[in-house]
Chains A and B, each alone.
Chain A
């Protein structure tokens, strides 16, 4: 039986919060395994591309051609900031709980800047072209978060 009732469309819809949470386990394969093992051992590795240049983090393949790569090259833990963004209010997920910079850092001996974190204390300390060096975490676990860069 139909029951006529007023279902007033002006009513607000119900809302509720929901947390999507999972810890993924990413197997690494040979090249990335060597890179992350290196980080755990406080070493930074890149990989040599067909044109002789070195890219870091290493890829199993050349990004431009798809060609397989396998010659790992150890790099010094310092380099140059090529660009940066200043995060004045870090989000909870982000690696530092105080203001910091995300930066493109070109490590000496490598031709490809990569995205990482510079713990510079203050925005005024950041400048493109500045030298930075790796500061390792107290305990390294074999992850990209094992280090941050600091002004050299």
Chain B
């Protein structure tokens, strides 16, 4: 980018009323200590949760610490199933630059079996079928495409299991 790209209107004699200001900044992010372990595991197709040392709750995805108790998670991990329950959902018909999915798509808050926190993801299902309590399972990318990213899971898909009881997930809405 060159600052000379900054421009208003071209020279047709009309007043300049707008300034175009291109801003390009490069950042180098760190996933942090604990989330990195979780991401490395997902590169192997494993879903690792972490247990809060205060109340024993299992966090997935883990950001390395418990926001409620402000403690860093210890070394204990909990391997989770890639099946879970839809806690709540939305059908999205608004395009967003950051989301490469075709409209409409379904966003879901999934409570993975064995986890005590929700994972926000997307669901591939008939729009009319999706409902709270629906049982779903992750659909993974081909193994050779796995990286250290939650995008290894393409989406969730309904499975043939009876709905979860409302009481079993209502505290996670």
Contact = CB atoms under 8 A, between A and B. Distances in A.
Contact present between A and B (CB < 8 A): yes
Contacts of B30: 13-15
Interface in A131-149: 137, 139-145
Contact of B78 (A3, A23, A24, A92): A3
Contacts, number: 140
B4 interface: yes
B1 interface: yes
B77 A23 contact: no
Given A36-B8, A40-B11, A141-B8, A17 B29 contact: yes
Interface in B67-110: 75-79
A116 interface: no
B77 A7 contact: yes
A39 B16 CA distance: 9
Nearest to B14: A37
Contacts of B78: 1-3
A20 B3 contact: no
A95 interface: yes
Interface residues of B, number: 44
Contacts of B32: 13
B20 A23 contact: yes
Nearest to B12: A40
A128 interface: no
Interface string A68-106: 000000000000000000000000111100000000000
A41 B39 CA distance: 56
A62 to B, nearest CB: 22
Contacts of B2: 95
B40 interface: yes
A144 B16 CA distance: 12
A4 B25 CA distance: 41
Contacts of A5: 48, 75, 77
B76 A4 contact: yes
A131 B79 CA distance: 72
B148 interface: yes
A66 to B, nearest CB: 23
Interface of A: 1-7, 9, 11-28, 33-34, 36-37, 39-41, 92-95, 137, 139-145
17 contacts: A1-B79, A2-B51, A2-B76, A3-B77, A4-B76, A5-B75, A7-B75, A13-B33, A20-B27, A21-B23, A25-B19, A41-B11, A92-B1, A95-B3, A137-B4, A142-B7, A142-B9
